[in-house]
Amino acid sequence: MTLIDHNEATAVPVRGKTGDIAAGEVLDKAAAHYAAAWTATGVPASPATIDPEVWPEVARPPSGAKAALAGKVAGLLFKGAVKRLPLRVEYPDGSILGTGGPGAPVMVMLRPASFEARIGDNGLIGLGESFMAGDWEAADLAGVLEVFAASVDTLIPAPLQALRPLYLPRTPRQERNAENNTRSNISRHYDLSNDLFSTFLDSTMSYSSALFPLDGGPLESVGWQALEAAQQAKIDRLLDKAGVGAGTRVLEIGTGWGELALRAAARGATVYSVTLSSEQQELAQERIAVAGYADQVTVALQDYRAVEGEYDAVVSVEMIEAVGYEYWPIYFQTIDRVLAPGGKVAIQAITMPHGRMLATRNAYTWVHKYIFPGGFLPSVRAIEGVAQQHTTLRVRERMGLGDHYAATLRLWEERFLERSPEVGELGFDAVFQRMWLFYLCYSRAGFQSGYLDVQQIVLDRREVQL
């Protein structure tokens, strides 16, 4: 397969999981120049042309009179918003918007018209698609996105925010997390490739926030060598809070790649772990067998709603985000149903402010479209309320570690960039890699800005003394 090189306009071979990329027009000289500089950072520049069958809404911006009008309006709104934000937005004509001084994150606009058409047609989905397409670049992508995340409530004038439900896309019915859809939703992310995830995760294969030691130095500068121990510390704290020890019957909702089950088994517990990812199940079972715990751990390809039995401890790490707003009662009712008398629950959950959660619960976002179909983040208040209204469980303790997630994501991002050639060799093309980078930076920006948090939450059904 071939694409047109940004700088030479000659065909060069490229590997891509998404199929052949047809030849077409070369980017303008300014875009090509910046793309070359961007490639030096480890991120593949977006191809000059993109296969529309593989990336239909990335390959070409929206066109037509309606799209042109929406783009002009979106462009005016965007420029009005960034004029007051602490960043620099540089345009091809030399104009610069934003209040950011030296050291502020810089967003380089390469194709303003395409960028505006995309955000006019699809809002924040268009922001991500325009980066995937190469309409804009940023050497500090997380920094740019952090500025937007910190200002999310004021980017659009209040009167226009009320109109958002009228023009923004809604969640496709096939992506709701009903039992017949959930396996497909999960597989679209977790079944991409175990090898892909291993390129940027540490040896524990933990795909959730780590918990770094307080005496390990500033989280902003913690290094890769600290990640493995920090992931194990996160797991150990959850197991401690759930009272997991010798003889404990543990239910794990969301296996990941098996590290929590391994550490629980090492304590003498028996573990029943459920996942909907066949890739994760396969590797988790391999790791468990190699460690010698196959007799203590069962990894089942099963929906959490179908779990039977009784367990002394239920542990779930960043799985509630995949449950879906309307299914939270069922999630907690299932836990309540299988929890033995005196048992404890320990979950780790990414959370957002309650007001934003309510405002966005019907939204369809870039993350839904490209990363986590059917997902939705709860608020702490929602978790407490659902447990209280629908179960006998009550939240007894919680600890926030959002700054730890920002550090975890930074390390994943750095690792992903370092190993970009290996990702390409696995068959994931430049557009995919830009998508994945946007996802990691988008997530990190949420935690760095405080828009997102992650909580370790302990629940039980302690009896009220009369």
DSSP 233-270: HHHHHHHHHTT--TT-EEEEES-TTSHHHHHHHHTT-E
Choice among 8-12, 72-76, 116-120, 260-264 with the minimum mean pLDDT: 8-12
Tell me how far CA of residue 133 lies from CA of 51, 77, 399, in angstroms. 11, 21, 39
**Which residues share a beta bridge with 108?**
90, 137
Give the integer Cα–Cα distance in Å for 18 and 15. 9
- 226 to each of 215, 265, 411, 419, how far by Cα in Å? 12, 24, 10, 19
User: 155-164, 199-208, 261-270: which range is least confident on average?
Assistant: 155-164
Give the whole-number percent of the chain exceeding pLDDT 90. Answer: 73
More confident residue, 427 or 21: 427
Q: How far is CA 17 from CA 85, 196, 200, 428, in A?
A: 38, 12, 18, 5
> For residues 377 and 360, which has the higher predicted lDDT (pLDDT)?
377
Q: What is the pLDDT of residues 415-441, one digit of tens each?
A: 999 999 999 999 899 999 999 999 999
What is the number of H-type helices and E-type strands within the chain? 20, 13
pLDDT value at position 151? 81
- Return the pLDDT at 2: 27
More reliable by pLDDT, 376 or 46:
376
Average pLDDT over residues 57-83: 92
Mean pLDDT of the chain: 86
Pull the structure tokens for residue 40.
Answer: 């030096």
Q: What is the pLDDT of residue 34?
A: 53
**Continuous segment of H or E residues that includes residue 38:** helix 29-39
Q: Which residues of 243-260 are buried (b: 16+ CB within 10 A; e: fewer)?
A: bbeeebbbbbbbbbbbbb
Give pTM, 2 decimals: 0.87
Chain centroid, CA 237 distance in Å: 23
Residue 221 to residue 9: CA distance in whole angstroms? 41
pLDDT greater at residue 413 or residue 180 = 413
Place of tokens 């096939």: 174
Nearest-5° angle of CA 93, CA 94, CA 97? 110
- φ, ψ for residue 172 (rounded to 5)? -60, 145
**Cβ pair 219, 403 in contact under 8 A:** yes
Specify the long-range contacts of residues 125-129, CB closer than 8 Å, at least 24 apart.
Answer: 125/169, 125/364, 125/365, 125/366, 125/369, 126/74, 127/366, 128/366, 128/370, 128/435, 128/438, 128/442, 129/57, 129/58, 129/366
Cβ atoms of residues 306 and 242 within 8 Å: no
Q: Which of 100, 97, 101 is nearest to 80 (CA)?
A: 97
CB 388, CB 394: distance < 8 Å = yes
Q: What value does the mean pLDDT take over residues 169-179?
A: 59
Q: Which pLDDT value is given to residue 111?
A: 96
Closest CA to 362 of 351, 376, 352: 376
Query: In a 10 Å sphere around its CB, with 0-12 CB exposed, 13-18 middle and 19+ buried, how is residue 220 labelled?
Result: exposed
Compute the residue count for the chain: 466
pLDDT class of 13 with cuts at 50, 70, 90: very low
Q: In whole angstroms, what is the distance from residue 387 CA to residue 320 CA? A: 13
pLDDT at 105 over 90: yes
List the beta bridge partners of residue 349. 455
Percent of the chain with pLDDT over 70: 82
Residues paired with residue 398 on neighbouring β-strands, in sequence order: 457
Rounded mean pLDDT, 204-220: 95
Confidence label for 38 from pLDDT (cuts 50, 70 and 90): low
Instruction: Say if residue 17's pLDDT is above 60.
Output: no
Residue with tokens 């296996």: 255
Is residue 407's pLDDT more than 90? yes
Degrees (nearest 5) of the Cα angle 135, 106, 122? 40
Q: Evaluate if residue 149 carries a pLDDT over 50.
A: yes
Query: What's the pLDDT score for residue 25?
Result: 39
